[in-house]
Chains A and B, each alone.
Chain A
Amino acid sequence: MLNKEFLFKKVAFSSATLILLILTSIFVMLFIYAKPAINEYGLNFLTDASWNKSVVIHNSTQNTLQAQQNKIDDDENDGSLFSDDNSILDEESDDISKNEDNIITKTIFGGYIPIVGTILSSLIAMVFAIPIALGIAVFLSEIAPDFLIKPVGIAIELLAAIPSIIYGMWGLFYFAPILQNIFGGSQMSLLTAGLVLGIMVIPFMAAITRDAMNTTPDVLKESAYALGATKFEVVKDVIFPYAKVGIIGSIILSLGRALGETMAVAFLIGSVFKIPHHLTDPTISIPIVLANNFGEATKDMMGAIFYLTFILFIFSFLVIGIAKFYFLRGRR
């Protein structure tokens, strides 16, 4: 009897520990696989905008010098947002390979473009989704007549359950052409990706902000109404201050979701390694680099891809962690 109890407790403990184990091994495995790229590029990877670019290095003593020179060229090239000519280096390297004999070329990778693409598309999504999600949450908690609260609430929760690939397909065939008509530019762009990402995040964000708002005790709201406050004043001066922490937490959590989203964005962001100068320019985000190149890439590129994955994991872990630890603790 005692033995069974002991055994059950041990099994339960191990299952719980499995979660810790999975998360640590994700971290460790990604780090090990990203290690070659981390060793090679270091932190410059974060600010280097070259991807899969051939760089010439001499086979002789000039080796390091030339590599450094190229590095500097790169930095100059990509440091400013508005220099879009990336071909200079390639032409240069062609020239050199014609002129000299013992030359080896090397492909280098930098993560700047996908990192920027990820952050910008998520930010666009947030700018679009926050007002609408807050509107829905306020509507559900204060404005909606009783007979609407339940069906609209259920609809929102059902919409949060729609697989993200469906948002992506709808965006590709219906939303992108319309956006192009309105804003011009490229059909697949930062803007298209960001907006569809925003639409996808809205139900999730609305549902959890509404839950946060609903934690406001009725007594508080009723006291305010009794003093003659309008609905807007109750929302602004009672509900928002009371649920502030929960609302901010919900928004950050949604941001965490948006950062790592793959399928809603995959069709829409354009998948080109280019720094976007306008909202309507195509670019790429980290999850899409993975979705497009994983498995078929060369060894060097796989290293860079794992480095990107590692960065994405750390970044979203931090964002989600901040939301959960700091803002949403004690809400269960």
Chain B
Amino acid sequence: MKQNENIKSRRLFYNKVILFLSTLSAIVGLLFLIWILITLFLKGIDSINLSLFTKDLVDGGLRNLIFGQFIMAFLATLIGVPLGMIAGIYLREYGNGVYANIIRDLSDIMMSAPSIVIGTFVFILFVAPFGSINGWAGAIALAIMLIPIVVSTTDNMLSLVPKELREAGIALGASKHKVILDIVLRTVKIGLTTGILLAFARIIGETAPLLFTSGTNSFWTTDLNNAFPSLTVSIYNLANFPTDKARNLAWAASFILIVIVLLINLTGRFIIQKRRNK
């Protein structure tokens, strides 16, 4: 009896210790992350002002950089979303068998591939032959980052659509692609939009794939055939610059970037939430 009591108290003791450690590590982890966010917000609010949005980098503002980053991310979305969606549709609706599974695995691997390697690859194909870094190359590098994310979102979303819905469509005499485009895709419209929003949020904060492809540009430009302004690449350059002015600009740029990324993410979550509550 005594021994049983001992075992019991020991078990309870271990339990307490481990639960404590686990909670502690959760707190430590979260504290680090909160620390980062708070620094960023304090530093950002400190160095942000309206003129940042009306001047270009040459005059100490960020206007052209924000514009350039958005343009490249939008172009990447225009290229990557249709390709990724159709590829995802193929995997779920047409592909059944080894080939589709291989593509699915490769797409998953591509999603985690080092982004700087993708930058290097795009450099070889779209920068080296033209002799100059250019905005198109930046957009293409981001599109390559985007495609596997969209593939996996589409694939997952389509797997949620009940088979009966497709059968009903086919039974009415619609061809398969009609069923997919007009019925299946329509039911997952919101989920897909959210997925694309989150994917957009992810590529707009990328730096490494842009380093050798778009580079960055201090001046206002809409010419995608030359070095193109990029917010993230400029943050990298500015933070390396040893003056307070450059550093403050880097903090302001980071602040703007994080606000953009978090806003898009929260919007995505809000859309999902709203649909669930319906």
Contacts and interface: CB of A to CB of B under 8 A. Distances in A.
A199 interface: yes
Contacts of B151: 19
Given A5-B177, A163-B257, A324-B105, A133 B29 contact: yes
Contacts of A317: 109, 113
A150 to B, nearest CB: 10
B62 interface: no
Contact of B33 (A159, A233, A262, A267): A159
A235 B152 CA distance: 30
Contact of A9 (B115, B144, B177): B177
B252 to A, nearest CB: 12
A59 B177 CA distance: 69
A168 B109 CA distance: 25
A65 interface: no
A136 B103 CA distance: 33
A267 B247 CA distance: 13
Given A163-B207, A202-B33, A262-B207, A169 B250 contact: yes
Interface residues of A, number: 88
B217 to A, nearest CB: 15
Interface in B176-224: 176-177, 198, 201-202, 205-208, 211-212
B277 interface: no
B30 A152 contact: yes
B23 interface: yes
B29 A170 contact: no
B232 interface: yes
Interface stretch (B48-56, B120-128, B161-169): B120-128
Given A135-B25, A259-B114, A332-B156, A169 B239 contact: yes
A144 B171 CA distance: 49
B11 A233 contact: yes
B116 interface: yes
A261 B207 CA distance: 11
Given A262-B116, A287-B114, A230 B15 contact: yes
B95 interface: yes
Contacts of A287: 114, 116, 208
A46 to B, nearest CB: 18
A33 interface: yes
A25 B33 contact: no
Interface in A107-163: 131-136, 138-140, 143-144, 152, 154-155, 157-159, 161-163
A165 B232 CA distance: 8
Main secondary structure of the interface of A (DSSP, over half): helix
Contact of B87 (A18, A157, A165): A18
- Taking each of A9, A152, A157, A236, which has the highest tally of chain B beta carbons within 10 Å of its own beta carbon? A9
A8 B124 CA distance: 31
Given A13-B90, A16-B103, A230 B12 contact: yes
Contact of B14 (A18, A232, A291, A294): A232
Contact of B117 (A15, A26, A168): A26
Contacts of B136: none
A72 interface: no
A253 interface: yes
A114 B45 CA distance: 37
B22 A139 contact: yes
Interface in B225-242: 232, 235-236, 239-240
B228 to A, nearest CB: 15
Interface in A248-273: 253, 256-257, 259-263, 266-267
13 contacts: A16-B95, A18-B83, A18-B87, A132-B26, A138-B22, A143-B19, A159-B33, A159-B37, A162-B258, A166-B254, A169-B251, A291-B208, A294-B123
Interface of B: 11-12, 14-15, 18-19, 21-26, 28-30, 32-33, 35-37, 39-40, 83-84, 86-87, 89-91, 93-95, 100, 102-110, 112-118, 120-121, 123-125, 133, 144, 147-148, 151-152, 155-156, 159, 175-177, 198, 201-202, 205-208, 211-212, 232, 235-236, 239-240, 247, 250-251, 254, 257-258, 261-262, 265-266, 269
